[in-house]
Structure 1
Amino acid sequence: MSAFSENIDNLIHSGDSDLKKAESGIQLSVKTLSKLQKHVNKEDFEDPQSEIDFFRNIKPLPMSYHIYFSQIRNCEINLPKIGNSHKVRFLEKEIKKINQFFSENNSFVSYMEQGHTYLDHLFFSRHGKRDFSFNPNIHYYQYPEFSTSHDMLWSQVQALYRYIHYIREKLELIQPGSSGEFRERQPNLLVWSGTKTSLVEIIYALYFKGDINHGTVDLKTIVAAFEDFFNIEIDNFYKTYGEIKSRKDPRTKYLHTIAAKLEAKMNEEDHT
């Protein structure tokens, strides 16, 4: 999975067109899913919890990228070739489809986003529910020995979160400002005034801690979210991370600084 995530990040940052990235991403995802399926068929799982962990946290990573890149491929192929207004209307229809999906699956999305686990034995075990409530266009990984009732649905949720960001960027390129309502934020409300290196420290700390989307979100998506939130462009964050690693102790200077600042402030308030 580490190699897959690294290859995906490299692919996303390549200079290829969106359509070519999608084609390559689908191939990479299929290859990884095939390896996982062979491994499961050969080794199976040590206990029920490891099975749940696999179908909740491991398989959905490449599966979600498979769905995500398939969505992009379909969008790139079907997007009108002429007329910005036609393109915007097409993308707005995609937005409506996404909203409808999240509305129809609101209970499950809420369950996952709140970090609940009490239904995992039904959702992410092959011995749980077998009704397969979600039937995506990608059928060939929906085998009983390699699927549960909800791992595909969870993959679709993660894929559409990424697809939302893709549509935002597409709308802004076609017609700047046209995605304003969709973004639902006021531009330039919050601006990062520290160094970009400090922000990269925070991003990597959150990424490695795994507290965003239950640890399934990729690094690029977290970076994009911070860029949106703080109205900043974070270039070459891989290189910046390498520079942070090459520091002398403490390497995480900014994280140490803000932790010390918070501790000092709380101590000050305790004595006032």
Structure 2
Amino acid sequence: MKKIARIIDDFDKKIIDIKNSNLNKFSKLKENIKISKNCLMQLRLELRKSDFNSKREEITFFKYQKPHVQGRLNFYIKLNSFLLEYPIIDSNKQRKFINKELKKLDAEKGKNLDFIKYCRLNENKLDYFYFLRGNNQLDLFINSNYHLEDPEFSTSHDHLVSQIITQDLLTKFYAKQLKIITINQKNVIVEEVKPTILRDLSWTASKTDLVELIYALNSSGAIRNGQAEIKKLSNICKELFDIDLGNIYKTFNEIKLREKDSTKFLDHLKFSLTKKITSDL
């Protein structure tokens, strides 16, 4: 039905900002719970006004369209509960809490592995049993809550498809949160290791000049008798001067290809130091 497609398209447009916004904000979740509920209500009212033109159209609605909205509504509601209980501080507690939630998801998935496989593989041989209203022969294999649903707006398995969508969205969100925790922990470690005296230093010459200096120090044996790893020296300079040297080996090859002034930065250093010594005499 074209009207149903338009309703869902409008729903997607209203929540598209969610993909780029901070889902940790309760106000944003509340807004999207409201949008999702309103969309489901519109779909319900539309079905009361006019029925499907074919069984295939009905299957499409209960297999794909309604779960698309219902799954996201369930996701927003579960995410709201998650954030209410989520530890505000202590990254170890946060990681432990998320891993606990992931185990719950795995346990839920374990109850419907065959059906999940059916959906993942885009099978359709049982669609007429799963996604047409009034098929009660599968009652023994479905959640008992199905009997509490509106028979005109539900089938035996559309809620399970919604559940799969919810689980996928939660899994993706939890993975993102774990990544954020890892990044934050690394930043804390760097902050602790880096003394205050080394902060606010910046390299104001070119990156190529710094690469030239690194290789000069290493080849002269000034650092660890010339046995220090170039990559390690590059990383130290990155932390010390807050500068990313990129592919240091490529830059050094470009230095070697200079037709003249192959050590122009070192020559500049020598000239500047000599001038300083002379002026202080």
Deviations 1:4-63 (A, max 9, x none): 112111233235743222211111100000000000111121222211111011111110
Partner residue of 2:20 out of 9, 13, 29: 13
Instruction: State the match for 1:54 in structure 2.
Output: 61
CA distance in 2 between partners of 1:71 and 1:125 (Å)? 28
- Show CA shifts across 1:131-171 (max 9, x none): 272367xx898211100011011011011111111101111
Partner Cα separation in structure 2 for residue 168 and residue 175 of structure 1: 11
Contact 2:23 2:29 (8 Å CA) reproduced: no
Aligned match of 2:116 in 97, 109, 114?
A: 109
Please give the alpha-carbon distance, in whole angstroms, between the structure 2 residues aligned to 1:141 and 1:40: 19
TM-score normalized by the length of structure 1: 0.60
Deviations 1:61-96 (A, max 9, x none): 110110111111111011122322221111111100
| Counterpart pick for 2:93 among 86, 89, 103 | 86
Give the Cα separation in 2 of the matches to 1:21 and 1:69: 9
The answer to whether the Cα contact below 8 Å between 1:60 and 1:151 also exists between their aligned partners in 2 is yes
Residues 51-200 of structure 1 aligned to structure 2 (within 5 Å): 51-129=58-136, 131=139, 133-134=142-143, 142-176=149-183
1:25 matches 2:24: no
- Tell me, in whole angstroms, the C-alpha distance in 2 between the residues paired with 1:5 and 1:23: 16
Q: 1:44 aligns with which of 38, 51, 63?
A: 51
Q: Does the 8 Å CA contact 2:95/2:178 hold for their aligned counterparts?
A: yes
- Percent identity of paired positions between Structure 1 and Structure 2: 26
The alignment partner of 2:102 has SS state of helix
Gaps of 5+ in 1: 179-272
Counterpart CA distance in 2 for 1:165 and 1:73 is: 15
SS state at 2:178 partner: helix
TM-score (norm. length: structure 2): 0.58
Other-structure match for 2:278 = none
Query: C-alpha distance in 2, partners of 1:133/1:22?
Result: 29
Amino acid at match of 1:119: L
Q: CA RMSD in A?
A: 2.4
1:109 & 1:18 partners in 2: Cα distance? 31
Could you list the per-position Cα deviations for residues 205-225 of structure 1 after superposition, in whole angstroms to 9, with x for gaps in the alignment? Answer: xxxxxxxxxxxxxxxxxxxxx
* Residues 82, 112 of structure 1: alpha-carbon distance in 2 compared, 3 angstrom cutoff: same
Q: Which has the larger radius of gyration?
A: 2
Match of 2:9 in 1: 2
State the alpha-carbon separation in 2 of the partners of residues 40 and 166 from structure 1: 33
Query: Are the counterparts in 2 of residues 18 and 72 from structure 1 also a CA contact under 8 Å?
Result: no
Unaligned runs of 5+ in 2: 1-7, 186-281
